[in-house]
Every structure is written in C-alpha cells, then in structure tokens.
C-alpha cells in the first residue's frame, strides 16, 4: 500500500523539479563587455610560491541594461578563465543572466560569474549602481 503512495509522490516531485530547473535557464543574450577590473588576490609574502589568478570584476551592457559580475577563482595556477575574458573588453559576448549568476558562453570560455549590484570598483556610473 505504501508503494502506491510513494510512486505518485516521487513522480510529482520530479515534474516540479524539472519545471523549476527549466525556469532558471534563461535565453542567451548578446552583450558588450564594457568595463573590466582585475585585482591581485595576494601581494608579496602573502602569496604562495606559485602564480595565483587575480580577482576580476566584469560589467556587461545589453541594450539599456547593465549587468555586473565577479570572478573569485581559487588560488590554483590553472584557474585562468577570468584572464581570457579580460581580453574581450569592448567586444560582444553571449551571456545568460539569472538572479544570482551570469553565465558566459563564448567559445573556449565557459564560466559562471557571481552577480553583484552596486560594485564600487567600476568607473561607469551605470556599472557601479546597477
């Protein structure tokens, strides 16, 4: 008798979970990477004996909307996707914007930025107070 109750419950949960996941996936939009900032994660004797990737801030413009995101990579030498994205400043890129993240969809650069608001690192007023 309990198996008859469990199976419909599991099926309903699966259907709801699929609906929630697909609602989070937005359509890619084309945006211009208008401003970037890079800051060293460590300085001098604070650094380990290997190269450490920098912390990066990115601002994208899609039409009248501005989206800002940050990349805080782990301190391992191979976490260098942010450096590749820095080189694309002023160029068009494909992004998917959600409430908490900005997904970058550029050939050979697939990364996720944490979405932030009111980042004082940017000089453009629209980027600093979006």
* Confidence (pLDDT) at 15: 54
Q: Do residues 94 and 28 make contact, with C-beta atoms less than 8 angstroms apart?
A: yes
- Annotated domain spans of the chain: 26-128
Q: Do residues 85 and 56 make contact, with C-beta atoms less than 8 angstroms apart?
A: yes
* Confidence (pLDDT) at 52: 84
- Residue 71: partners with Cβ closer than 8 Å, 6 or more residues away: 55, 56, 57, 58, 81, 82, 85, 111, 113, 114
* Confidence (pLDDT) at 9: 59
Q: Which residues of the chain have pLDDT under 70?
A: 1-25, 77
């Amino acid at each position: 008798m309990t198996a008859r109750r469990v199976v419909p419950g599991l099926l309903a949960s699966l259907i709801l979970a699929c609906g929630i996941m697909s609602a989070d996936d937005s359509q890619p939009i084309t945006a211009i990477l208008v401003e970037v900032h890079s800051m060293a994660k460590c300085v001098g004797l604070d650094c380990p004996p290997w190269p450490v990737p920098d912390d990066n801030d990115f601002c994208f413009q899609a039409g009248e909307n501005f989206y800002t995101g940050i990349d805080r990579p782990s301190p391992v030498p191979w976490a260098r996707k942010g450096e590749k994205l820095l080189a694309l400043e002023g160029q068009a890129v494909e992004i998917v914007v959600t409430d908490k993240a900005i997904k970058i969809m550029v050939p050979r650069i697939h990364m996720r930025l944490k979405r932030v608001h009111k980042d004082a690192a940017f000089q453009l007023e629209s980027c600093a107070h979006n």
